[in-house]
Amino acid sequence: MLTIDLQEGFSSDHVVVEINNQVVFDERNIRSRFEIGFAASRDVPSPQKPYELKVSIPEANLVRKIIVDPAQTTHVGINRVDDGLLVTASSEPFGYL
């Protein structure tokens, strides 16, 4: 299981997340709340072996790919930043304040 947290920088964006080219998250109007730096979260099934995680904002031509080792990563935080998308892998849940 992988928890995908969409965090900072989203402003009514269409965000697509794929695992090994299979869409696991596809939602529009993703908006970050400044007060907690969080937009949306989704738990998705993930493979047992290392896999490719691809995040994209199709309308903005933004794409980011990382290789995820499920033995070490159970949570990913995705941020839209000035020059693209930033993906942070973690073995623990992210906290928001």
Residue 61 phi/psi, 5° resolution?
55, 40
Which residue lies nearer to other proteins by CB, 33 or 65? 33
Three-class secondary structure of residue 53 per DSSP: strand
- Kindly list the distances between the CA atom of residue 25 and the CA atoms of 35, 83, 97, in Å, as whole numbers in the listed order: 24, 22, 25
Residues engaged in binding other proteins (CB under 8 A): 8-9, 33-38, 41, 93-97
Q: How far is the CB of 94 from other proteins (least distance, A)?
A: 6
Which residue lies nearer to other proteins by CB, 38 or 51? 38
Which residue lies nearer to other proteins by CB, 66 or 86? 86
Q: One-letter amino acid identity for 18?
A: E
